[in-house]
Amino acid sequence: MTATLVSSIWQGVIILFGGALLGMVYKGFDRKLAAQMQGRIGPPLRQPFYDVVKLMIKENVVPDHAVGWLYNLMPIAALVAAATLLFYIPLGGFAPLLGGYGDLILILYLLAVPSLAMMVGGFAAGSPYATVGAQREMVMLMAYEFPLAVTLVSIAWRASYLVPGQPVFSLSVLAAHPLWGAVGPLGVIGLVLLFGALFIVTPAELTKIPFDIPEAETEIAGGLLAEYSGRNLAMFYLADAVKMVVMASLIIALFFPYGLASIFGIGGGWGSLLDVMFYLVKVFVVIFAAVITVRVGFARLKIDQVTRLFWLPVTGAALLGLLLLALDGIV
């Protein structure tokens, strides 16, 4: 019992530090590659680490007009929620540490917590810029959460007919039974539509261009984060980095859970190492396609454009994907 507890604690520590480290590394690639694609030199890959260290040692300023305890609590809530998600997502082909204690529904709720924390922190700051940013975050959250929920529930619902008797809302089960080879042509089209919906939701979840409306430095001077500094801003920064890894891992677990070890017949430690390396490549590809390329290729949208985008075409695509999966099961 004691050995199992100690092992779980060590695994948890490795997952937390590993997830934060990966998030910072991918954040460095994000900034560097985006700059290169725009014809700029860009910062070094290690710049996110410099930023966090600098913020951690700087003074943590709390505005006189802020609700102090709420203002200081929200960065902690955002980071804790993002870090907790790492325990429910399959990473590198390994089963999640707390996979038996939560499922897709819990993940859906936890994904919303960092955004809610930023929103509440913006209101608590008492700044007009932060208030406008918080209002925008609230509207955007209501816009993209519905297609995200439809996508997750659709895949779990279809999997319930393919693996009866198993907890299909568990990401471990879904990753072990990918739907691509288990559905017909209609189901494949439905999965493509669901993947497209989740792909579009990803930069919105991460508040990246063209969905960086709540921050919008050129319009509202940083919006939600206008008043944050020091370790509070560092915690929001780390939460964003971890959430980037989480969103990429969620897409991989639902749509691309395949490993190379089984294909090449490699077992043991070398097989696990190969799958981990392949997982890191897949995470990079997802981030490059869904975050870096999108924010370089598009300008910031207006809030009414964002709501129309998610409530009409994106939600419509997700519902159509659900319908096609249902028809595929009937046919």
Residue 261 binned pLDDT confidence (cut-offs 50, 70, 90): confident
Q: How far apart are CA 65 and CA 141, in angstroms?
A: 26
Q: At what angle do helices 185-205 and 230-255 cross, to 10 degrees?
A: 180
For residues 288 and 154, is the Cβ–Cβ distance under 8 A? Answer: no
Residue 184 binned pLDDT confidence (cut-offs 50, 70, 90): confident
Distance of CA 323 to the CA centre of its chain: 26
Q: How far apart are CA 243 and CA 225, in angstroms?
A: 17
pLDDT at 98: 75
Mean pLDDT taken over the chain: 86
Q: Is the dihedral of CA 99, 105, 107, 110 positive or negative?
A: negative
pLDDT at 193: 94
pLDDT at 3: 57
For residues 99 and 171, is the Cβ–Cβ distance under 8 A? Answer: yes
Distance of CA 133 to the CA centre of its chain: 20
Alpha helices, DSSP H, located in the chain: 2-37, 47-57, 68-85, 104-125, 128-162, 171-176, 185-205, 217-220, 230-255, 261-264, 268-287, 293-297, 303-309, 315-330
Q: Please report how many Cα atoms fall inside a 13 Å half-sphere around the Cα of residue 253, on the Cβ side.
A: 29
Residue 215 reports pLDDT greater than 90: no
pLDDT at 64: 78
pTM for this one? 0.90
Which of 215, 213, 210, 209 minimizes the C-alpha distance to 236?
215
Residue 270: is it exposed, middle or buried by C-beta count within 10 angstroms (0-12/13-18/19+)?
exposed
For residues 84 and 255, is the Cβ–Cβ distance under 8 A? Answer: no
Tell me if residue 304 falls in helix, strand or coil: helix
pLDDT at 274: 85
Residue 164 binned pLDDT confidence (cut-offs 50, 70, 90): confident
Distance of CA 186 to the CA centre of its chain: 28
70 residue type, one letter: L
